[in-house]
Amino acid sequence: MVFLIADDSPRMRESLRKTIANKVPDNHTVYEARNGGEAIQMYENVHPDWVLMDIKMEPVDGLEASRVILAAHPHAKIIILTNYDDAGYRKAARDAGVREYVLKEHFAEIPGILFT
């Protein structure tokens, strides 16, 4: 499996990378992007099986990056992973076609989403 982690926090990217490594067999690859713009470019290059996308990133946020990716690749599987428990963000993510919206404090739920 191929994963793309898009988050402006190196610490969060590392935590997610470790979580994936603990749950995925040896045959996986994890790419990282520091913002939504990098995530869009990376998606076009590697077509990951799953994208784990933060919302608040500059210069392109995760919601806009998700919209762009899903417009070009409607079957892309994106999970928003954020600190913001906000109804407006949830609706925007759902409207964009994002598969799941998970708060970072619950990121341990990610493997259950990825492998169901």
Domain ranges of the chain: 2-114
Cα separation of 20 and 41, whole Å? Answer: 22
What pLDDT, in 10s, does the model give residues 22-68? Answer: 887 678 899 999 999 999 999 999 999 999 999 999 999 999 999 99
The model's pLDDT over 58-84, given as tens digits with 9 standing for 90+, comes to 999 999 999 999 999 999 999 999 999
Taking the CA atoms of residue 33, residue 70, residue 92 and residue 52 in that order, the dihedral angle to the nearest 10 degrees is: -30
The pTM of the full predicted model, rounded to 2 decimals, is: 0.93
Q: How far apart, in Å, are the Cα atoms of 41 and each of 34, 76, 87, 101?
A: 11, 14, 28, 22
Residue 36 is predicted with a pLDDT of 97
Identify the architecture of domain 2-114 in CATH. 3-Layer(aba) Sandwich (3.40)
- The answer to whether 5 and 17 have CB atoms below 8 angstroms apart is yes
The whole-number pLDDT of residue 73 equals: 97
Number of neighbours of residue 21 by Cβ within 10 angstroms: 11
Report residue 51 CA to chain centroid gap: 4
